Amino acid sequence: MKTKRMGRISAAVLSFSLLLSGSAFAEEQSTPNTPVISEKKLPLNVYFSEITPSQFETIHALTTFWNKAGVYMSKNTNGNQGVVCGEFTADSTDAVFLLHTLNGGTTYNVSLKYDNGTLVSGHSTLQVGSGGVFTNLTIGTKYKFAVSSNDVSSTGGNATFTVKSVNTLDKGYQLVNGDVYDKHGNLLIDMENGFTPDGYTLSPDFSVVYGDYTTEGTVSLRAIDIFNGTISVPQNTDGTQSVKLGSDFSFTSSEPDFYVEYASGTVAGVNFGLNNMTTGQAVKWFSNVQADKFNTFTGAYNSSRPGDKFNVKASGQGGSGNVSVTVKILQ
């Protein structure tokens, strides 16, 4: 059994304890609060990442179980008003719930339960129109959702929702027992209770780009170096082994794109991991970039979160050694 890491995870445990005492899921007493998109973490076997409507549209569905289905939502008064909806049998380790509309209300609470009613994971006071990804489900297990609202009228209101499973292979990876594997079945990141070894959760937009997709050529001279030099990288075996490249940085509207290059070295390939330190999420993994090759991530800048801080870490593929690498943000 995996053990929880201290530090960031301990803080998440404390936050979860406060959540249980001060607010609620669909089944428990709720107090209004203002959610921060994609920053809430639950230290449960099944964990939750909040998503925006635009993020929801980009998620590739393996199966759409319910598409804008109707449910009559009750007003939450004492934590026992959750209305069951969205029953499904998991065919992927990830499932998405989003509430599109709610007559007479602007926020809602949602929880995920096993078919027998046992609580699996939940969240309170989400904005109508937003939703979340529940990750590390057990394939073949039956689940259902329960929803309520703190601000709908006392008589309740009609709502519409969608439930779909996520095809992570479309993003270049697969989750096996909560761990990140590449498309070939090789372990990339050994997750612990939904967290990477560095204490990050996976962004809903997390993807893996492979070395065979890298290119040769030139890039814009209008760039800012994050790192450009030679460094010793450890061999990656489970996502624990890495070295930070350069200082923390932010993308801007003038420099919205990300660039990595492995010029030369003693290892077969280099892995680059891009992390959003502000939201605490792993954003992208560049797997096995070959010598004399580079790759770019277009559109890394998010205008709704212009101040987010990022870092990048590197590891060796198939071995450790000295490598000459470059990391830039591009115009």
Q: In the CATH hierarchy, which fold is given to the domain comprising 8-166?
A: Jelly Rolls (2.60.120)
Same fold, 8-166 and 203-330: yes
Checking if the pLDDT of 259 tops 80, the result is: yes
Q: For position 185, what pLDDT does the model report? A: 82
CB 98 within 8 A of CB 51: yes
pTM metric for this prediction: 0.61
Q: Which of 316, 287, 274 is nearest to 212 (CA)?
A: 287
7 confidence band (pLDDT: 50, 70, 90): very low
245, with CB counted inside 10 A (0-12, 13-18, 19+), is buried
Computed on alpha carbons and rounded to an integer, the radius of gyration of the chain in Å comes to 21
Please say whether the dihedral angle defined by the alpha carbons of residues 121, 125, 126 and 129, taken in this order, is positive or negative: positive
Q: For position 21, what pLDDT does the model report? A: 31
Of the listed ranges 2-6, 249-253, 269-273, 304-308, the one predicted with least confidence: 2-6
Taking the C-alpha atoms of residue 280 and residue 263, their distance in angstroms, rounded to an integer, is 29
Checking if the pLDDT of 23 tops 60, the result is: no
Amino acid, res. 312: V
Q: For position 38, what pLDDT does the model report? A: 31
The 10s digit of each residue's pLDDT in 127-155 is 999 998 888 788 889 999 999 999 999 99
Q: Average pLDDT, whole number, for the chain?
A: 80
Query: If DSSP codes are grouped into helix, strand and coil, which group holds residue 314?
Result: strand
The 10s digit of each residue's pLDDT in 265-306 is 999 999 999 999 998 889 999 999 999 888 888 878 888 888
* Mean pLDDT value of segment 176-184: 78
CB 156 within 8 A of CB 74: yes
Kindly report the backbone phi and psi dihedral angles of residue 167, in degrees, each rounded to the nearest multiple of 5, phi listed first: -95, 90
Q: Name the class of domain 203-330.
A: mainly beta
177 confidence band (pLDDT: 50, 70, 90): low
* Mean pLDDT value of segment 114-125: 88
Amino acid, res. 194: G
Of the listed ranges 110-119, 140-149, 191-200, 265-274, the one predicted with least confidence: 191-200
Q: Which of 305, 222, 327 is nearest to 55 (CA)?
A: 305
Checking if the pLDDT of 1 tops 70, the result is: no
Checking if the pLDDT of 43 tops 60, the result is: no
Both tokens of 260, joined, read 């990595």
125 confidence band (pLDDT: 50, 70, 90): confident
Q: For position 215, what pLDDT does the model report? A: 53
Q: What is the distance in angstroms between the CA of the first residue and the CA of the last residue of the chain?
A: 45
104 confidence band (pLDDT: 50, 70, 90): very high
Of the listed ranges 6-10, 270-274, 294-298, 321-325, the one predicted with least confidence: 6-10
What are the structural domain ranges in the chain?
Answer: 8-166, 203-330
